[in-house]
Amino acid sequence: MKANATAPVKGLFKAHKSSFSLDCRVASSESRKEASEKQAELQTKLSTLREALKQLQAKSATAATVASGTCQTPNLRFSSVRRNPLNGRAEKKKGRMKAAHEFAERVREHHRLSAALAQEKEKRLVLERQLEDLKKRLAASSEENARLRDAGRGTRGRSGPTWQFDVEGCWYAWPSEANHQIHKAYLAFLREPAHNRFATIDCDNIPRTMVDFQRMQHTNCETNRVRGLRLSLGVPEAWTSTPAALLQPLEAPPCREVRNPDLLAKVRDILQSTGHAWDNSQVCSCMQTARIKSIQRIENWSLWQRYKAKRATMRREHASYEVSVTPAALDLDALGDDLVMTGNQSAFDFDEALSQDVDEKILLHGTSGQNANDIAMNGFRHQTCHGAMYGDGVYFASSACKSHETTCQHHKSACRCTCERTLIIARVALGDAYYARETRYGQSKVPIKTESGVAYDSIVVNPGRIAGHNSTQMHQEFVIVDDEQAYPCYVVQYEL
């Protein structure tokens, strides 16, 4: 930068020096006086030029110093403070290391994404191969699938016994006509097993088939292929009776003893803690000492089918008349938040969820041991109840102390007799309930809605003031007049 700054000055100096020499030579032909004056003038110019050269050199040195300065502040172009060169190199090294680290991280991320993409491509190829294989298998078995679909269509809406055949571990229902023939033959087999073990099924849409009820299998008469055969009665999974036992004519109550500790504990909780059992000032407190003697589950296929059919009828009627069902509350006669019946509803539903659209509830019905046997075989009978406060019908409660009132043969109210008592835990479809505000002595039917002319499904009586009641309604009660709206689930024998 110094050389560039002084070059014009040096060139000017040389030019003047050459001019000076030329003037000296010319001076020999001029007068000495003029030569002297000229020489003095040139000496003055030379001095001026030298001074200008010095100033330019000084400025060049200053510019070089500023250019090599250490001030790196972006907002200050020049600085008189030098930075330590070691710090600058450290910062540059740190920056290079940071950049290298970021680059390495980007490279690793790229590798990870590339590996994941390769795996996804491999999975896609595997799935595509599997899809092609499935397409081939489906095409090869299209005829069999069509027949199975037809068989499935034939069972839609069917209730009652359903015969099924096995195809590679999956069970499919027979068409309606074949189902009817097989079941009719099976009933004959149950009556006389020795003479009716085999049956030939011949109807439209299926090949001629030979059924062996003893081995529970059937043979296609055209292909001689043998498949498994089974009967589904549509009963709860908790039941343990075989289909053959369920279809046999009843000679005794179809009950199975229950020894499940959890279920026993819940029944004990219902007996001792529902309703007014907590109130030691009332006779209901006698339930605190209730002891369970036995619990039996009722497995009556005929009653169960009737109950399911009634639920379906209620749904259809509700849909036809646009009836909206509001669920009834339980434990309204309990103490505070001690909702024992509400909390134990699912414990007694046979592992088959209660239907909210018809407001199914688990409720209690007190009776005698003899009546309990008749109920287990034939179901509830509302004709046996006459002259009751809320009309004729079958009465249920949400508290054991209320049901306890009808368990003694000697008294018609709660008592402390030590005789054996019987409590039935039932599944009841309340449906669209009428909430009683008055007594209904002598009534044999449920009320009818004024606006639509449609009858209610049941009657619900909540604790409180009731017109015509000689005092206050203490317990919550539920009344049905259609016996098929309730199924007896368990028979509980207990004593105080």
Give the DSSP H or E segment for 256: strand 255-257
- Are residues 398 and 303 both part of a single domain? yes
- Are residues 336 and 460 both part of a single domain? yes
Assigned token pair, 117:
């993409």
Query: What CATH number should be reported for the domain holding residue 223?
Result: 3.30.720.50
Tell me which of 116, 140, 164 is where a domain ends. 140
- Per-residue pLDDT in tens (0 to 9) along the chain, 496 residues: 444 444 444 454 444 444 444 444 444 445 556 656 766 676 676 667 667 666 666 666 665 554 444 444 444 444 444 555 656 677 777 788 888 888 888 888 888 888 888 888 887 787 777 777 665 666 555 444 444 444 444 444 456 899 999 998 999 999 999 999 999 999 999 999 999 999 999 987 788 999 999 999 999 999 999 999 999 999 999 999 999 999 999 999 999 999 999 999 999 999 999 998 888 888 889 999 999 999 999 999 999 999 999 999 999 999 999 999 999 999 998 876 779 999 999 999 999 999 999 999 999 999 999 999 999 999 999 777 777 899 999 999 999 999 999 998 887 777 888 889 999 999 999 999 999 999 999 898 999 998 888 999 999 999 999 999 988 999 999 999 999 999 999 999 999 9
Q: What is the pLDDT of residue 38?
A: 67
In a domain, 237, yes or no: no
Tell me which of 111, 140, 169 is where a domain ends. 140
- Are residues 121 and 102 both part of a single domain? yes
- Are residues 421 and 352 both part of a single domain? yes
- Are residues 131 and 157 both part of a single domain? no
In a domain, 305, yes or no: yes
- Are residues 311 and 455 both part of a single domain? yes
Domain holding 37, by residue range, is 2-67
Task: Give DSSP secondary structure letters for 266-333.
Answer: HHHHHHHHSTTTT-TTSGGGGGGG-EEEEEEEE--HHHHHHHHHHHHHHHHHHHHTT----PPP--TT
In a domain, 78, yes or no: no
Give the DSSP H or E segment for 396: strand 394-397
- Are residues 395 and 333 both part of a single domain? yes
In a domain, 302, yes or no: yes
User: In sequence order, what are the residues at sequence separation of 6 or more whose Cβ sits closer than 8 angstroms to the Cβ of residue 364?
Assistant: 270, 396, 397, 398, 399, 400, 402, 403, 423, 424, 425, 426
- Are residues 165 and 267 both part of a single domain? no
Q: What is the pLDDT of residue 316?
A: 95
- Are residues 219 and 327 both part of a single domain? no
454 CB neighbour count, 10 Å cutoff: 15
DSSP 354: P
Assigned token pair, 315:
């749904």
The backbone torsions φ and ψ at residue 308, rounded to the nearest 5 degrees and listed phi first, read: -65, -40
In a domain, 382, yes or no: yes
- Are residues 387 and 283 both part of a single domain? yes
d(CA 268, CA 263): 9
Tell me which of 232, 266, 282 is where a domain ends. 232
Bridging pattern class, strands 170-173 and 209-212 = unpaired
In a domain, 434, yes or no: yes
List the beta bridge partners of residue 424. 365, 491
Closest of 326, 327, 343, 363 to residue 476, by C-alpha? 363
Measure CA 431 to chain center. Answer: 27
In a domain, 85, yes or no: no
Total domains in the fold of the chain: 4
- Are residues 426 and 296 both part of a single domain? yes
- Are residues 208 and 129 both part of a single domain? no
Query: What CATH number should be reported for the domain holding residue 394?
Result: 3.90.228.10
In a domain, 46, yes or no: yes
281 CB neighbour count, 10 Å cutoff: 7
